[in-house]
Structure 1
Amino acid sequence: MSSESSIDPRRIGFLFNHDELHQVAHIAPIISALQRQAPSARVEVITSSDRQAEAVRQFLDPALPTPAFWSIRPNRWSRLAENLLGKMVPLNRLSSLKRSSDLFRHFDALVVPETTTTFLKINRSSDRTRLIFFPHGAGDRSIGFSPEISLFDYVLLPGEKTRDRMLAAGVIRPDNHRIVGYPKFEAYANRPPVRLFDNDKPIVLYNPHFDPLLSSWFRFGEQILDYFAQQSDYNLIFAPHVMLFQRKLLASVEHRMLKFRQRIDPHYAALAHIHIDTGSSSSVDMTYTNAADIYLGDVSSQIYEFIQKPRPAIFFNSHEADWRGNPNYDHWNFGPVLDDIADLGPTLKAVSPLSDSYREAQTRAFAYSFDIDAQQLPSQRAALAIAEFLDLQQRGEPATI
C-alpha cells in the first residue's frame, strides 16, 4: 500500500504529444476510470495543442472533477525547422518533451500512446517518473514491436497477439505488462451509423497507410480513385491514415525511405458517390470502418477495427512483399491480396458475400488481438492495472500515513 497521504497525493499525467488526434481515444477513456479507481491520486492531462485538449475533454465523465490540464506547445523554432525538413523528423514532439522536462519531474507516472516519450528515459530527463505505454492500435507492422518499447516501465496491451509478439521481441517482460482490452472500442461503442450517400449501394473504404514503402497510395492510389470515379456500382470512402496528407514528404524511419506524396485531383471530391476525408475526426473515430461494407487497404491497423464485424476485405501488395507466413502481414489473410490494379474490379464482384474461410480468419484474429471482458470495461481494467502498478490507494481502501 502506498505510504503517500491525502495531503501529498500521487500525480499521474496522461500525455498527448502528437500532431494529430488519432491517438487520443486509445488512452483518454482511462482518465475518468482512474479518477474513480484511485480517488486520492491527482490525475492530470498534458497536451500539445488546443485540438488535443478539446478531444480529450469529450471522453471525461462530467460527474467527476475536471482534471488539471497542462499545455506543452512546441516553440516556433522547432515548428519552423520541422516544416523546413518536410515534417520528416518529429521535432515538435521532441521539442515539447525537452522543454517540459521540469514539469514531468513532478509526476509519479505518465501514461502515453506513443514511443517518442522514451526520449525522457534516453536523456534521463525525468528519472523518478515512470512511463506507462498503451499502443495506439493493434496492427501487425514490425514498428509496433520496436526496441524503444523496452524503455517503458509498464505496458498495457489490447490482447494476446500484441503481448506474444512483444515478448518474442524481448521488449516487455512477464512482470511489466497487463492485457486490458481496447479502450477505443469502448470510446465509440453504440454510436448510430452515419449516412454518407443517398443510395444503398455497397460502400468501399479505401484506407491506405502513410509509410512510403508499405502504402498502396504511392503506386496505386490515383488508379484506385480513377476506377471508382468511372463506375456506378459502389460508393467510395477515401479516408487514408491521417498522417498521409499532413506531410508533403513522407519518411519511414523503419524502412529508411522518403517519398513525395502526390496531390488529389479535386474532381474526385465533386462526385456524389465518392467521399474524401484526409484527416477529420471522422477518419479516426471509427465512423468509416463502421459504415463500410468492404475494406480496401494495405497495412493500416484500422483493418482490425473493421473486422470487429467480419466483412469482405481486399489488400494491395504495392511493394512486392513476400508476405505469406510473415507476421507483419497477418491481416492479409483476411481477404484477397492484389498485385495489379486490373484485378480490382473482378475481385470486388467476387469478394461478397464473405467466404467462410475469410470469416473464420477474421474472427480468430480479432479474438487473438483484442481481449474482451463482458464484466469490465477496458478503461476500468486499465485503471486497475495502473493503480496496482503504482501502488495507489484505491477506492474503499483505508488511507495510510
Structure 2
Amino acid sequence: MKVGFLFNHDALHQIRHTAPVIAALLRYRQVEVVVLTSSAAQEGEVRRLLGAAAGQVRFVSLTVGRVAAALDRVVRHVAPFRRIATLRENLPAFAALDVLVVPETTSLLLRDRFGLDRLKYVWIPHGAGDRSVGFRDVMRGFDLVLLSGAKVRDRMLAGGLITPDNHVVVGYPKFDTIDDALPARLFDNDRPVVLYNPHFDPLLSSWYAMGEAVIAWFAGQRDFNLVVAPHVMLAQRRMHASVEHRVVRWRRDVAERFRDLPHIRVDMGSEASVDMTYTRAADIYLGDASSQIYEWIVRPRPAIFLNASGADWVGNPDFTHWRLGEVIDSVDALPGALDRAVESPDRYRAAQEAAFAATFSRDEEPASVRAAAAIVARFGA
C-alpha cells in the first residue's frame, strides 16, 4: 500500500499536523510512504522532523511549468494559484498512490476536478479551532477523517460533515513534536510576556483595525513584554480576501519604530511561530480567531480576545474559544483587561481545562501512532 503525504502550502505551519504520522506508519511493513512537497523548505522541514526515519521515505518534488510559475508571481499575494497548479501538473505522481493524507481540503480537487477517483483521501485538520471555515460542506468528500477530540467530532457529526464510520478520534499529532520542557525565556527581564496572535481572516482578525494601536500601546509602557506573532499566513500576502465573509483587507507591515524596542519582539513567520515556542513561553494570550488558543491552553493561563468585527459572539459556536478569556471591543479596554489577567490568572482555568479535555483526546499511545493504525486498519487489508 502506497501512502502519500502531501505538503503543498505557502508556509510551513501545516507540516507538524501530519508529519509525525509518517514515522508511525513506517512500522508497518506493508506500507510504502511517499512524501510529496511543493518547495524545498517543505521537504527540509519534513526531513528535520523525521530525523533518521527520513531515509526510509521516498520524497517527490512537485514542480510547475514556466507559465504557471509566471502567473504565480503575479497573483501569489492575492490567491493560492500555485497550490492548484501543483495538483494539476503532477497528476501521475498522485495517481501512483493508494492513499493520500493531507492537512487541508484543496487536495480534493484531485478527485473532483482532475478525475483521480481511485485514490483514497485522508484528512487530518491542521488545528482544532472554531471558525466556520473549519466546518464546510467540502469535508464530506474524504474517505477517512482523523480528529483531535470530541468537540470537533460532535460538531462535524451534527453538521453531517462526517459519518459514524468514516472518522476516528486519534488526538493531535502536532503535540507529538513538542518537547515537554519549557522553552527558554523570551526576554531578559521578569515582566509578564503577552503574545499577540492575530489571525489573517479579513473579517475576524484584529490586525487590520487594531493591530497598530495594540503595538503602539505596548510600545509606550514598561510593565509588559510583547511578542507580535500573527498567524503565519498574515505575512504571506498583501491582500486577504474571504469568499465566505465577502471581505477584502490590505495588510500593513509593523512600523519600523516598533521593531527595535527591547520589550517588543516581532515575528512574522519564523519556525518559532509554528512550533509552539510562543504559546508555551508567554504568560498572557491576546488574539481573536486563531485556533492557536487551543494550543495555548495546554497550560491554562489568562487569555484576552479582541472583538474587532463587533461580532455577536455569545452562543455562537464559531466563537466557542472566546469563553476561555475576557473579550474586549477596543484597545482602550486593553489596560484594564491586562490588569485583571495579572490579578486573577486562574479566572478562566476551569473553562480552559474543560475545553482542552473536549478538544484533545489523550491516550497512552501518541496521536501519530493512533492515526497510523487507523489508516492501516481502514485501507491496509
Unaligned 5+ runs, structure 1: 1-9, 393-401
Looking at structure 2, the residues matched to 187 and 332 of structure 1 have their Cα atoms a distance apart, in angstroms, of 27
Show the counterpart of 2:301. 311
Are 1:263 and 2:253 counterparts?
Answer: yes
Q: Per-residue CA shift, 1:318-352, capped at 9, x if unaligned? A: 00100000010011011111111111011101112
Show the counterpart of 1:396. none
Which runs of structure 2 are paired with 1:2-401 in the superposition (5 Å)? 10-36=1-27, 38-60=28-50, 62=52, 65-85=55-75, 87-354=77-344, 356-373=346-363, 375-392=364-381
Looking at structure 1, the residues matched to 248 and 367 of structure 2 have their Cα atoms a distance apart, in angstroms, of 37
Looking at structure 2, the residues matched to 99 and 116 of structure 1 have their Cα atoms a distance apart, in angstroms, of 15
The one of the two structures with greater contact order (alpha-carbon pairs below 8 A, sep at least 6) is 1
The answer as to whether partners of 2:88 and 2:114 remain within 8 angstroms in 1 is no
TM-superposed CA distance for 1:257, in Å, is 1.5
CA separation of 1:253 and 1:189: change in aligned 2, threshold 3 A: farther
Looking at structure 1, the residues matched to 190 and 288 of structure 2 have their Cα atoms a distance apart, in angstroms, of 26
The answer as to whether partners of 2:101 and 2:123 remain within 8 angstroms in 1 is yes
One-letter identity of the residue aligned with 1:43? V
The answer as to whether partners of 1:101 and 1:125 remain within 8 angstroms in 2 is no
The answer as to whether partners of 1:74 and 1:93 remain within 8 angstroms in 2 is no
Q: Per-residue CA shift, 1:24-78, capped at 9, x if unaligned? A: 0000000010111x22211110000000001101221525742000011333433
- Root-mean-square deviation (Å): 1.4
The answer as to whether partners of 2:63 and 2:90 remain within 8 angstroms in 1 is no
The answer as to whether partners of 2:63 and 2:89 remain within 8 angstroms in 1 is no
Q: How many pairs align? A: 381
The answer as to whether partners of 2:104 and 2:125 remain within 8 angstroms in 1 is yes
The answer as to whether partners of 1:209 and 1:217 remain within 8 angstroms in 2 is yes
The structure with more helix, counted as a fraction of residues: 2
The answer as to whether partners of 2:23 and 2:53 remain within 8 angstroms in 1 is no
One-letter identity of the residue aligned with 2:376? A
Looking at structure 2, the residues matched to 354 and 371 of structure 1 have their Cα atoms a distance apart, in angstroms, of 28
One-letter identity of the residue aligned with 2:185? R
Q: Per-residue CA shift, 1:251-279, capped at 9, x if unaligned? A: 11221211111121111111000000001
Looking at structure 1, the residues matched to 266 and 142 of structure 2 have their Cα atoms a distance apart, in angstroms, of 38
Q: Per-residue CA shift, 1:344-370, capped at 9, x if unaligned? A: 011101112445551111111110000
Q: Which moved more, 1:283-292 or 1:121-130?
A: 121-130
TM-superposed CA distance for 1:89, in Å, is 2.2
One-letter identity of the residue aligned with 2:10? D
Secondary structure in 1 aligned to 2:322?
helix
Identity %: 50
TM-superposed CA distance for 1:192, in Å, is 4.3
TM-superposed CA distance for 1:80, in Å, is 3.3
The answer as to whether partners of 1:311 and 1:354 remain within 8 angstroms in 2 is no
Show the counterpart of 1:3. none
Q: How high is the TM-score relative to the length of structure 1?
A: 0.92
Looking at structure 2, the residues matched to 64 and 258 of structure 1 have their Cα atoms a distance apart, in angstroms, of 41
Q: Per-residue CA shift, 1:211-252, capped at 9, x if unaligned? A: 110100001000000000000000000000001111111111
Q: Per-residue CA shift, 1:126-177, capped at 9, x if unaligned? A: 1211010000000000111111111111100000111111111211111000
Looking at structure 2, the residues matched to 186 and 384 of structure 1 have their Cα atoms a distance apart, in angstroms, of 15
CA separation of 1:355 and 1:23: change in aligned 2, threshold 3 A: same
TM-superposed CA distance for 1:86, in Å, is 5.3
One-letter identity of the residue aligned with 1:33? A
Looking at structure 1, the residues matched to 64 and 331 of structure 2 have their Cα atoms a distance apart, in angstroms, of 42
